[in-house]
Amino acid sequence: MNKTIHVAIIGLGRLGMVHLNNITTYGKGIEVVAVVDKINARAKEIASEYNIELFSDSPVAICKNSKVDAVVITTPTDTHGELIMEAAQNKKHIFVEKPISHSLEQTKAILEAVEENDVLCQVGFMRRFHPKFMEAKQKIDQGAIGKPIYLKGFTRDNPPDKYAMSPKRDFLKTSGRIFLDLAIHDFDLARYLLGSEVKALRSSGKIICNPFMEEYGDVDQASTYIEFESGAVADIESSRNSPYGFDSGVEIIGTEGAIQIPTIRDYEVSVLTATDRSELGSIFPANMEQSYLNEIIEFIHTIHNRKESPCSAADGVAALEISVAAQKSMDTGETVSISPEKSVQS
């Protein structure tokens, strides 16, 4: 496919607008021809502002529209699976924000719909496309640190409702909880950087700062210890309690060296407080925006070149399986094994 890809943005929240702005700014080989939001007036307003031809409050109607070649899905987690299948059945290529579904039981049908309809599906694990993590992966693959044997990763999110970029209580209620919504990024990145599948894991967590999360069966601080088929192990920290804003980092130890990305924030400092904003940069690191642009550019190239996505539906399912296992481990207090024979393939 060498023609311009006509894409629909389904969901006009924060990430939907990020992708809309990136596509309209980049503009090479892709054009937004439709926007969808559950509030029709919102869709109409955005369509008018960006001079977009089609708007609707019905994802199904837009998926059936012959003017649309591909969709970008940024709706709530529990809608992802159905929308992927609807798009696939209408021969639309798919970019979907993580997770690929809220349900492992649904993933077999999702993979079958994507394969049977010969469409491409990319899952939005944008950290694979962050320049620092891309460089780390390249160096690992080149053998710069020998065989990877240990990874330590973390994600620290803005405290709920504290900043403009903070997750809202209403979002957390339906997010799928800390492993499915937050830790899943680190699970995917660990699997990607170490180049191995997960063998077993053990997770724990508690509520430290946000008592309301008990109502949602969630926690605001969690840790996961992961064993990989390669023999490597990983420690993952997941937090909703970062007083200085969003942060993420990773360290990979190999048999011949190490790669350290202590933070993806604009500035590296030894002391972080909520009062010293001048050193800390923005509440949400500006360089993360490059990740969102890079993943959309890759989506465009994947469609044009008819190649497998570097962050495929199968990758999305693998990350979901790890997240579900982590939740089960925290709930039961037990180590959970993940069979090499993936449940979605049985």
- How far is residue 22 from each of residues 9, 19, 31, 320, 326, measured CA to CA in Å? 12, 5, 11, 27, 33
pLDDT tens digits for 123-157? 999 999 999 999 999 999 999 999 999 999 999 99
pLDDT tens digits for 239-256? 999 988 899 999 999 999
What's the pTM value of the predicted model, to 2 decimals? 0.91
Give the distance, in angstroms, between the CA of residue 345 and the centroid of all CA atoms in the same chain. Answer: 22
pLDDT tens digits for 16-51? 999 999 999 988 899 999 999 999 999 999 999 999
**CB-based contacts of 223, cutoff 8 Å, min separation 6:** 203, 204, 205, 235, 236, 237, 238
What local confidence, expressed as pLDDT, does residue 266 receive? 59
For residue 195, the number of C-alpha atoms closer than 13 Å in the C-beta half-sphere is 14
Q: What is the set of domains in the chain, with CATH numbers?
A: 5-119 (3.40.50.720), 128-284+320-337 (3.30.360.10)
Q: Which residue has the tokens 């709930």?
A: 331
